[in-house]
Amino acid sequence: MGEDTSQKNEFIDKKEESEASFRRLKKAFDKWRENRVNGILAQEGESIWLTLGRPLFLSGCILFDGPVMLEIVRLGDRSAWAWIAYFTALYFVVSFQKKTYDQIFSVDTSQFSFNSEQ
């Protein structure tokens, strides 16, 4: 009989752990959803050029980072130093592109509050 009680308590503990894990996961997903909805609401009033500018900017960055930046490796005859120079330059270029993207295409979500009961 003592074993039944310990097994039952172990089962309850695992069930409670499972439910607690599910609640943490749901809470994290709700926070992501809130941020996403607020971002979409904040973009409703912006111009079409700003909306189209986001994917065009990202496409331009990808085209620059790939074929154009790989010229460093090609000109360096694919040596180890050429690859090191490529990845170093790529790090700085991507960080610059990210800063530029954040400055140009930032979305102010502070004016929106998400209500999940709507």
Mapping DSSP onto H, E and C, the string for the chain reads CHHHHHHHHHHHHHHHHHHHHHHHHHHHHHHHHHHHHHHHHHHCCCCHHHHHHHHHHHHHHHHHHHHHCCHHHHHCCCCHHHHHHHHHHHHHHHHHHHHHHHHHCCCCCCCCCCCCCC
Which of 115, 110, 108, 114 is CA-nearest to residue 46? 108
Give the pLDDT confidence of 54-113 residue by residue, as tens digits: 889 999 999 998 888 889 888 888 899 999 999 999 999 999 999 998 888 877 666 666
Give the pLDDT confidence of 22-60 residue by residue, as tens digits: 888 888 888 778 777 777 776 777 778 888 888 899 999
**Cα separation, 48 vs 44, whole angstroms:** 10
The pLDDT of residue 91 is: 95
What is the average per-residue pLDDT within 11-21? 75
Q: Which residue has the higher pLDDT, 39 or 3?
A: 39
Token code pair at residue 100: 């530029």
Which of 39, 16, 8, 20 is CA-nearest to residue 105? 39
Q: Which residue has the higher pLDDT, 108 or 20?
A: 20
